[in-house]
Amino acid sequence: MKFSILREDLLTPLQQVIGAVEKRQTMLSLSNVLVKSDDNYLSMTATDLEIELVSRVQLMVDKPGEITIPAKKFLDICKSLPAEAKVNISIDADKATIQSGRSRFTLSTLPAADFPSLESITSFYEFSMPQNVLRRLIEKTAFAMAQQDVRYYLNGLMVEVSRGMIRTVATDGHRLAYSEQAIDSELADSKQVIIPRKGVMELLRLLSDSEEPVKIILGNNHIQCLLGNQRFTSKLIDGRFPDYKRVIPAEEGHTVTADRESLKQALSRASILSNEKYRGIRIVLNNNLLKLQAQNPDQEQADVEVEVSYEGDILEVGFNVTYMMDVLNTSGSEVVQFIIKDANSSCLLKFPEDTQCKYVIMPMRL
């Protein structure tokens, strides 16, 4: 294999796939990137056997072929070269030579035959939607995914597609984030898949804020997204996601309306003296006033007040302050509403300017 390419044309696909490179090196070839050149295209593939990323760039190739090259070293070399530099790459036996200007690097390679690939995806439904819409759905909900929970089905993002609608839902058992968006789909029955955390974060990194389409292919064990010259494939979590409809409470109880930014700043101030481990904060509601009280094991205390719209009896309830702030950070809306039935019930948060999203936070005992 032999070809010449501009540094930027080489760096871009490398950076797009590097997130899938296996860092723990359970297999030597997983720390490599598969480089293939044929049909006037150069493609790069990286995988950790859970997700696979492929990126292509159009290129006239002197001599086609395929080989795997150490990904991190390859990327670092490309980054170190000056902008607009011409890079010549040639493969001879088990060595890759990278030459640019007066710099020359020789890397060890592994045969392309040793590089693993995810099994081919068997599609049961395909549809397309704008990249910025899918990106927004993920950004509004992914923060609520669990991390390394023994309930493995919580360590990912649930995507549900039904006729004319797509929904994303994430929960760690203490909070839940829900978002929906109308799309052009003709699916007769609703289908649910759970994308693992790493796949979610890599997909979010690839999606742009443009209205360029992303084609989504749902399979029994995989999800695949096609974005221009990029292909993202991820295994799915095999499990049953909780019934989110039962978790989202009915919109009944005490309604509190607050300025989002003022409440966010008040929560931030009160959180300074909250318990660093449990992050609990007490909310006291009374006559258009919301009081935030925090206390830590050193007997230090914070009391912060913020004006809200609230009419009703005095209500005290405890919440994790980080969970509250995570929700407020998802939106640029001026106003936030939360509905609380009583001190022992979960809290429903929503934004009047963004009716497609709902958030649920379980109460804490303080």
pLDDT for 247-270, tens place per residue?
999 998 999 999 999 999 999 999
Does 167 map to a domain? yes
Question: Which residue range forms the structural domain that includes residue 15?
Answer: 2-114
Does 71 map to a domain? yes
Does 127 map to a domain? yes
Q: How confident is the model at residue 24 (pLDDT cuts 50, 70, 90)?
A: confident
Does 265 map to a domain? yes
Does 170 map to a domain? yes
Does 217 map to a domain? yes
Query: Could you tell me if 188 and 86 lie in one domain?
Result: no
Share of the chain above pLDDT 70, in %: 100
Query: Could you tell me if 92 and 175 lie in one domain?
Result: no
Q: How confident is the model at residue 26 (pLDDT cuts 50, 70, 90)?
A: confident
Query: Could you tell me if 198 and 285 lie in one domain?
Result: no
* Whole-model pTM over 0.85: yes
Please tell me the total count of domains within the chain. Answer: 3
Query: Could you tell me if 225 and 330 lie in one domain?
Result: no
Query: Could you tell me if 256 and 317 lie in one domain?
Result: yes
Query: Could you tell me if 8 and 106 lie in one domain?
Result: yes
Look at 286 and 26; give whichever has higher pLDDT. 286
Q: How confident is the model at residue 234 (pLDDT cuts 50, 70, 90)?
A: very high
- Of 191, 214, 246, the domain-final residue: 246
Does 62 map to a domain? yes
Query: Could you tell me if 132 and 165 lie in one domain?
Result: yes
Mean pLDDT across the stretch 124-141? 96
Query: Could you tell me if 156 and 235 lie in one domain?
Result: yes
Name the average pLDDT for the chain: 95
- Of 46, 80, 114, the domain-final residue: 114
Query: Could you tell me if 82 and 103 lie in one domain?
Result: yes
CATH number for the domain including 188? 3.10.150.10
Query: Could you tell me if 17 and 81 lie in one domain?
Result: yes
Mean pLDDT across the stretch 66-82? 97
- On the question of pLDDT at 289 being above 80, the answer is yes
Does 366 map to a domain? no
- On the question of pLDDT at 181 being above 90, the answer is yes
Dist. CA 6–CA 83, nearest whole Å:
9
Q: How confident is the model at residue 185 (pLDDT cuts 50, 70, 90)?
A: confident
- Of 68, 90, 114, the domain-final residue: 114
Query: Could you tell me if 48 and 107 lie in one domain?
Result: yes
Query: Could you tell me if 210 and 263 lie in one domain?
Result: no
